[in-house]
Every structure is written in C-alpha cells, then in structure tokens.
A = this chain, B = another copy of it.
Amino acid sequence: MKKSLDELIKELKEKNIRLTHQRLKVLEYLVNNRTHPTVDQIYKALKKEVPSLSKTTIYNTLNYLSELKLIKVVAIEDNEARFDGDTGDHGHFKCNSCGKIYDLDMDMDKCIPENLNGFRIDEKIVHFKGICKRCLSR
C-alpha cells in the first residue's frame, strides 16, 4: 500500500480535492520520507522550499489527508503525533535507544481475539517498543 505521489494525486482529483501547492508538498514529503515524521519535522523541511508556509497549514493538511484516509497517524509517542504515507495495515516498532520507528509487515487480523466477535473493528493498532537489533549489537 505504499502509494506513489501520482497515485495520491489521482485520488485527490477523483475526490475533487483542490491540488494546492502545500498539500502536494506534504504528500511528496511523506512519500519520499518513510520515517514517520512529526509535524515539526515536516514543517521545518518544507519551510525551506515554501517560505510562506505556516505550521497551521501542516496541521490542517495532515488532519484533512488522514480524514480522507490518504495518510495515517501513528500515535506511538506519548507527546506528539507522527505521520505515515503508508495506509496499508502494518505494525510499528519503536527503538527506545536510537528512536527509529520500524514498519512491521504483518497480518494484523491474526491478532483479533474472539472476545471481539460481533464488534465492528475500524482501526487496528499494533505497536512494540524496546531495543532494536542494531542497537543491541553494540
């Protein structure tokens, strides 16, 4: 589900969403930076290219795009949100040593317990935290 920028633009057009410079830049950033960036990281990076950019725009844009299901919020930190251009089902691992957030290709449906029979599941979140292999081997 790692959509290209072109695919994302196509989806915007289909939904009659205006292709503003700022929206395209945010999408482009998320497509090119698969690092689960924070609002501030996105803002600082794009501010260089778009000097007029406002942080409120980043918030508005990210909120709107996630409402449209074009991106996902990753709530793995307790103080600030991170964003992911990959909207397919997958989990995350956060290394508490280097801070890196790994993507985990996995079948999240296997995690659904029987207790939830009869429940409608709209969102599945699987996060792990610890120390990654790379950091352990030092």
Contacts and interface: CB of A to CB of B under 8 A. Distances in A.
Contact of A111 (B102, B105, B111, B117): B111
A128 interface: yes
Nearest to A124: B128
A43 to B, nearest CB: 19
Chain A interface: which size bin?
A: 35 or more
Contacts of A81: 78
A131 B113 contact: no
B126 A125 contact: yes
Contacts of A131: 119-120, 122
A39 interface: no
A37 interface: no
Interface in A86-138: 91, 93, 95-96, 102, 104-106, 108, 110-113, 115-133, 136
24 contacts: A73-B78, A75-B75, A75-B78, A93-B115, A93-B116, A102-B115, A105-B113, A105-B115, A106-B111, A106-B113, A111-B111, A119-B128, A119-B131, A119-B132, A119-B136, A120-B131, A120-B136, A123-B129, A123-B130, A125-B125, A125-B126, A125-B127, A125-B129, A126-B126
